[in-house]
Structure 1
Amino acid sequence: MKKFMQLSLLTLALSPVLLTSELANASSMPQSVSPANANVYIISPADGATVPSTFTVTFGLKDMGVAPAGIEKKHTGHHHLLIDKNTLPAFDMPMGGDVKHFGGGQTQTTLTLPKGKHTLQLIMGDHHHIPHKPAVVSKKITITVE
């Protein structure tokens, strides 16, 4: 029991070091190259639109392909949606839980948001959820939920 307790304490003590090491390795992961003219955009709703509390967001992509997460194929990626974000995620690390991931290759989603003004923005991620180089980011749109 004493050895188990010592191992447990050692594991807990090393956890932050291991996590920091994993994050350091993640930041050194290479970025996939995006095509020069790649463009991601929100088809609907339109910028400035008023929408009900539950609505559909349709994604658009030009000069690039969509592939599910985990599938490595040149010039492809999958969508990530930023809702009410003032900053973009780091471009050299996998995107985290603060963005909505569409790793199945989805090109639309249904959202339910509270009343008020909201912003929506898309960013493409590669097979590891890392933004491409250069990053393929949509214009940020503003909507009003009624």
Structure 2
Amino acid sequence: MKIVCWFALSAALVLFSNAAYSQGKTAPKDAKLYFITPHDGQRMKGGFWARFGLRNMGVTHAGDDYQNSGHHHLLIDVNEPIDSKEPIPQDKSHLHFGAGQTETFLELPPGPHTLQLVLGDAKHYPFEPPVVSEKITVRVRPAISARSK
């Protein structure tokens, strides 16, 4: 009886520990996430539109658990990699587009900024393999009124 109980407990621990580490849904290997605008190295004055592109997967709302679909997350000036075992954070540097948006108007302070897209599943976990865009750099120029003072 002790052996059966030990085996059942061991099996349960293995199953639950694996569930904790396999959060992200599987993504097609040919999925591609990219910026339509802006382009890497682009300079802009003031606010600008960022438009997101996705190939070989679909865009849906957060919470919708459809196969091969997810929603966008925009990382602004984020240097550390996303942890595939944790949901994508939500703060001023990790913007969530859980309503299925594919564009946003950004107003960033003057200076250089990095932008990167990450596709998240229904629960905001990155896919496996991760579906991420190239990291691009944009430079925001100060408004004319700020330069003349």
TM range (shorter): 0.7 to 0.9
Structure 2 residue 88 is matched with structure 1 residue 103: no
Point out where structure 1 has 5 or more consecutive residues left out of the alignment.
1-23
CA-to-partner distance for each residue in 1:71-90, whole Å, 9 max, x for gaps? Answer: 00000000000000112221
Within 5 Å, give how 1:74-85 maps onto structure 2: 74-85=67-78
Size of the alignment, in residue pairs?
123
Deviates more, 1:28-37 or 1:123-132: 28-37
Q: Which residue type is aligned with residue 57 of structure 2?
A: M
TM-score (norm 1): 0.79
Larger Rg: 2
TM-score (norm 2): 0.78
Give the whole-Å Cα distance in 2 for the aligned partners of 1:142 and 1:127: 28
Q: Which residue type is aligned with residue 67 of structure 1?
A: T
Per the alignment, residue 50 of structure 1 pairs with: 43
Point out where structure 2 has 5 or more consecutive residues left out of the alignment.
1-16, 142-149
Following superposition, which runs of at least 4 residues in structure 1 exceed 4 angstroms of deviation? none
Q: Secondary structure at the match of 1:113?
A: coil
Shift of 1:29: 5.3
Shift of 1:27: 4.8
Which of these residues, 117, 121, 124, is aligned with residue 119 of structure 2? 124
Structure 2 residue 54 is matched with structure 1 residue 40: no
User: What is the RMSD of the two structures over their aligned residues, measured on CA atoms?
Assistant: 1.8
